[in-house]
Amino acid sequence: MVGGRRILIAGAGSVGTYAGGCLAHAGRPITLLGRPSLMDRITAGGLHVSDLEGRHHHIAAGPGLRPETDPAAAMRDAGLILVTVKCADTAAMGRLIADHAPSDTTVISLQNGVGNAALLAEPLGHDRVVAGMVPFNIVQLADGRFHRGTDGAVMVAAGHAGLRAELDVPGLPVVESADMDSVLWGKLLINLNNALNALSGLPLAEQLGLRPWRLLLAEQQREALRALAAAGIRPARLGPLRPGLLPHVLRLPDPLFRLLARRMLSIDPLARSSMWEDLERRRPTEIDRLQGAIVALAGRHSLSAPVNARVRDLVRQAEAAGTGSPGLPPDAVGAQGGGA
Ligand SMILES: NC(=O)C1=CN([C@@H]2O[C@H](COP(=O)(O)OP(=O)(O)OC[C@H]3O[C@@H](n4cnc5c(N)ncnc54)[C@H](OP(=O)(O)O)[C@@H]3O)[C@@H](O)[C@H]2O)C=CC1
Ligand SMILES: CC(C)(CO)C(=O)C(=O)O
């Protein structure tokens, strides 16, 4: 489907660089469009990708992996574009693609939050844009590696011939879904933990192992499920549990939860949420597209979502302070929300 043209990673950060590395290792011709600091590093020393299953590959820069910082140069020979910028940059990336990429290039959003595909479709048209979802976590480690710390398969909208096969490579399993809206809402329920993880400053496995944090997540999910039901939205089941059961399992005592969690999901001790990474790098977070979306949806249906609103406000404060993760204890997060 790419017709011999290249796959462009539009916004090479954690997810994009990992995906680009796996695809390049499997022989797909990849262009990375990213910031000069990372692109220079990859040009000089190549790219390391690793995962919790023990894969570790080094891919040298060259014709198979071309780092670029100029959108026009990066996009002119793209046959397929994976958009991996944060939500705040989606609209701007859509305009760059409209200006510089061939007009028949398919564009896939691999971002969290609902509404990115629609934003990209504004300048590009609905026919060219495909919704996608990345279930796993990528962290950039101190040694420069892009490391996948949890498992799961990337999901892309069904009905685009050859797309799944083009992207499905070792380290980056890809499956199709006929209902990406439900998938993205299901993912958003899980992403309500991103902010808690960012506020805690703890690794994901450690934070989720502590019941006071899980109670806050359960309460946010309960508010979200109520708002989704009022709006007639059915979030997809993305793991062994259907969405309605998630808050109940999160409320289990630590020993029981840890036992169940060990059977249901693997989380590398190094994994952290992308929002933690944003706070640490003093970048804007996606809070308004996650907790903010739930508060807005609840409001449209005359419901309240006080714990989501409180978490949103704490993350906004942390963004404004610009001092990284505030390392809050869970009772400081639950204090005014009444969630835990
Ligand atoms: N990280 C993770 O584990 C996961 C992330 N996701 C989702 O995937 C999406 C991407 O997340 P993530 O990879 O963490 O984000 P990152 O911020 O790590 O990566 C995006 C990169 O794109 C760069 N960028 C933005 N605009 C441009 C531009 N015009 N030209 C070149 N580079 C640009 C950003 O630079 P700068 O920062 O300087 O603007 C940044 O380096 C998000 O929606 C996130 O929620 C989903 C699952 C897991
Ligand atoms: C950690 C994970 C995979 C789920 O919360 C994620 O989507 C993120 O960090 O943005």
Nearest listed ligand to the Cα of residue 110: 1
DSSP 127: G
Rounded Cα–Cα distance for residues 269 and 254 (Å)? 17
Q: How confident is the model at residue 336 (pLDDT cuts 50, 70, 90)?
A: low
Q: Are 149 and 138 in contact (CB under 8 A)?
A: yes
Contact residues of ligand 2, CB 6 A cut-off: 112, 136-137, 150, 190-191, 193-194, 273-274
Q: Are 264 and 239 in contact (CB under 8 A)?
A: yes
Residue 330, helix vs strand vs coil:
helix
Buried (b) or exposed (e) across 80-110, using 16+ Cβ within 10 A?
bbbbbbbbebbeebbebbbebbeeebbbbbb
Residue 107, helix vs strand vs coil:
strand
pLDDT, average across residues 16-38:
98
Instruction: Out of 66, 84, 172, give the residue to mutate to test ligand 1, the one with the largest number of ligand atoms within 8 Å of its CB.
Output: 84
- Quote the pLDDT of residue 218: 98
- Quote the pLDDT of residue 314: 98
Instruction: Using the predicted structure, report yes or no on whether residue 1 has a pLDDT greater than 90.
Output: no
Nearest listed ligand to the Cα of residue 188: 2
- Quote the pLDDT of residue 338: 41
Instruction: Using the predicted structure, report yes or no on whether residue 261 has a pLDDT greater than 90.
Output: no
pLDDT, average across residues 188-195:
98
- Quote the pLDDT of residue 264: 77
> Over the chain, what is the mean pLDDT?
95
Angle of helix 180-200 versus helix 291-300 axis, rounded to 10: 120
pLDDT, average across residues 197-202:
98
Ligand 1 centroid from CA 221, angstroms: 25
Tell me the residue type at 46: G
Domain boundaries along the sequence of the chain: 6-177, 181-334
Instruction: Using the predicted structure, report yes or no on whether residue 99 has a pLDDT greater than 90.
Output: yes
- Quote the pLDDT of residue 64: 97
Instruction: Using the predicted structure, report yes or no on whether residue 66 has a pLDDT greater than 60.
Output: yes
- Quote the pLDDT of residue 150: 87
Ligand 1 centroid from CA 4, angstroms: 26
Q: Is 149 in the pocket of ligand 1 (CB under 6 A)?
A: no
- Quote the pLDDT of residue 68: 98
- Quote the pLDDT of residue 198: 98
pLDDT digit string, tens, across residues 294-332: 999 999 999 999 999 999 999 999 999 999 999 999 999
In this structure, the residue with its CA closest to atom 2 of ligand 2 is 137
Q: How confident is the model at residue 281 (pLDDT cuts 50, 70, 90)?
A: very high
Q: What ligand 2 atom has the least distance to the C-alpha of 193? A: 5
Query: 67 has which bridge partners?
Result: 32
Instruction: Out of 194, 206, 270, 311, give the residue to mutate to test ligand 2, the one with the largest number of ligand atoms within 8 Å of its CB.
Output: 194
- Quote the pLDDT of residue 329: 97
**Which is more confident, 7 or 150?**
7
- Quote the pLDDT of residue 269: 86
- Quote the pLDDT of residue 119: 98
pLDDT, average across residues 151-164:
94
Q: How confident is the model at residue 337 (pLDDT cuts 50, 70, 90)?
A: very low
Ligand 2 centroid from CA 191, angstroms: 6
pLDDT, average across residues 143-166:
94
- Quote the pLDDT of residue 339: 38
Ligand 2 centroid from CA 161, angstroms: 28
CATH superfamily name and code, 181-334: N-(1-d-carboxylethyl)-l-norvaline Dehydrogenase; domain 2 (1.10.1040.10)
Q: Which two tokens stand for residue 238?
A: 């993305």
Nearest listed ligand to the Cα of residue 96: 1
Fold type of domain 6-177: Rossmann fold (3.40.50)
Q: What is the ipTM of this complex?
A: 0.98
Instruction: Using the predicted structure, report yes or no on whether residue 2 has a pLDDT greater than 70.
Output: no
Rounded Cα–Cα distance for residues 171 and 217 (Å)? 29
In this structure, the residue with its CA closest to atom 4 of ligand 2 is 191
* Residue 325 CA: distances (Å) to CA of 139, 198, 202, 282, 318: 16, 6, 9, 9, 7
